[in-house]
Amino acid sequence: MIQGMPSGILRAYTGGSFAAALVLRSLFLKRAVNASSLLKKAGTQFFIEYALALSAGLFTFVLTRVFFSIPLYSGGLFFIGFVAFGFFIAVDMSLEKEREVIKTVMARPDLRVTLQKIYPMTRKFFLIAVVANLMVMVIIILIIGRDLAWLTEIETAQMNIMKEMTSKTVFKEISFAVAVLLVLIINIIYSYSKNLKLLFQMQTRVLESVSNGDLSTLVPVATSDEFGMIATHTNKMIYGLRDRIRMLARLNVAKEIQANLLPGRAPDVPGLDISGISLYCEEVGGDYYDYFKFSGTRVGIAVTDSSDHGVGAGLHMTTIRAFLRYGAEDYQGALPLIRSVNRHLAGDGSESGHFTTVFFADIDLEQKKINWIRAGHEPALLYSPESGEFTRLLGSGMALGVEPDAEIYEYEILGWEKDSILAIVSDGLKESRNSAGEMYGENRIRALITRYPDQPAQTIQKELIRDLKGFIGKVPIADDITVVIVKLV
């Protein structure tokens, strides 16, 4: 009770002030809170609730001061009560609004909320804890101060009589105030923990889906604190995983298409046994090999190696294949074909910087002759099993696609021993390294060919790849590898 004012009238004034605040509350909530963005609703709710509580306390203080002339000290103590309890009410209503927002975004996964600014949860919790403790201390100090002031007004003669009664009264008042404040603080902690539980459930639910391979759900951004930041980065991760999966799916399609661009089987030409393979260090690559049957006794074999590897090299490889196949339809010889391909490549790739090395062999079984062009490529190896010697099919020539008028040279070899083996490989084979940094090298290629001189071309090709994989072990392939084995039977 405020000194100089009946308690019934005080209750009536207080109730009237709160009633007016409740009427204004519905208007403010509709205009301000409901119109705010999702992440600002809780903060707007707090400021409106607290402002209304302070306004009700100030209005009550003014009325009692005007009509009953209550002392400023007593009215001030009454207003401080509004300040304290209004804070607890505002925090609780704000947490409830935040919980409502969390449930809204959980029920509406289609909502896209962008986090503009982060308000750390630790700072918010620290401020609430500090202010709550200050409110408790202020209220207890005010109760004790008021009782001490009352005791000073009691006559000395009455002191002994009132001593026991006063101590019990002060104890009851402090106990009641502490109990009420304790309930308010526990309520805030409980409300805060419910919000945290919802946020954790929302995060873990989506992360469990992601770990199970389901990327269809995003984490709703429901708060502007660390949880909102985690949700934002989690969603970026999900978007990135989606893009990667889409990219891998497209690369797998490209891989399948590129595999179909390579020859399915060797041409059926009596006297030739041919087997080839390309291994790519990525889903697609720049190596390419092909066979061209010009007649029943004449076959062309091309092995190309585009600069770099991956998607760009794969696209360049398809261009080379198109030019080679188009030129082979009106085949006039190895030299005219490769010169034509070079002009086209130089015109298309002058700005891209891509180039390709080529080894092209024209095998004429009738004349027992091999014509070849080596445009910057690894030299082929011709093995003669009777003599056990290797001949390196060398030659000068710039890689294709650099200069349209580059000099290209053709070379020829006449005759070969029975069951001779021609090995055409890309540089990725001999330059492959093991964990010790040692290169596979040309000597290992020669050693393996001499180990299987009587075997079919496919067996030699498979054993060469198997030997390579055994050599590099767990070290991934660093460059595209192509191997074409031709056995002249």
- Same domain for 464 and 381: yes
Q: What is the mean pLDDT of residues 447-461?
A: 94
Name every residue whose Cβ is closer than 8 Å to that of residue 187 and which is 6 or more positions away in sequence: 88, 92
314 & 363 share domain:
yes
> Higher model confidence: residue 132 or residue 425?
425
Residue 157 has what pLDDT? 46
pLDDT digits (tens, 9 = 90+) for 116-174: 777 787 788 888 888 888 877 777 777 666 655 555 555 544 555 555 555 566 667 67
- Element at 43 (helix H, strand E): helix 41-68
The answer for residues whose C-beta is within 8 angstroms of residue 176's C-beta and 6 or more apart is: none
Residue ranges of alpha helices (H) inside 153-284 are: 156-211, 226-261
H-helix segments, 295-385:
311-328, 334-349
Report pLDDT for 333.
Answer: 92
Domain, as residue range, for 422? 267-488
Instruction: Show the tokens assigned to 59.
Output: 């209005």
In a domain, 253, yes or no: no
CB 340 within 8 A of CB 332: no
Residue 13 has pLDDT above 70, yes or no: no
Residue 258 resides in a domain: no
CATH number where 383 lies: 3.60.40.10
Residue 108 has pLDDT above 90, yes or no: no
Q: Residues 319, 464: one domain?
A: yes
216 with 302, same domain?
Answer: no
Torsion, Cα 383 384 385 386, to 10 degrees, reads: -160
Per the structure, the count of domains in the chain is 2
DSSP annotation of 398 = P
Which tens digit of pLDDT belongs to each residue from 40-51? Answer: 888 888 888 888
Instruction: Judge whether 58 and 133 are in contact, CB under 8 Å.
Output: no
Cβ–Cβ under 8 Å, residues 92 and 188: yes
Q: What is the DSSP string of 265-316?
A: S----TTEEEEEEEE-SSSS-SEEEEEEEEETTEEEEEEEEESS-SHHHHHH
Considering the domain architecture, whether residues 290 and 358 belong to the same structural domain is answered as yes
242 belongs to a structural domain: no
Q: What's the confidence (pLDDT) of residue 465?
A: 95
479 and 365 together in one domain? yes
Domain stops at, among 230, 246, 275:
230
- 252 within domain boundaries: no
Does residue 198 share a domain with residue 71?
A: yes
Task: Using the CB atoms, write b or e for 166-204: b if 16+ within 10 Å.
Answer: eeeebeeeeeebeeebeebbeebeebbeebeebbeebbe
pTM of the predicted protein model: 0.63
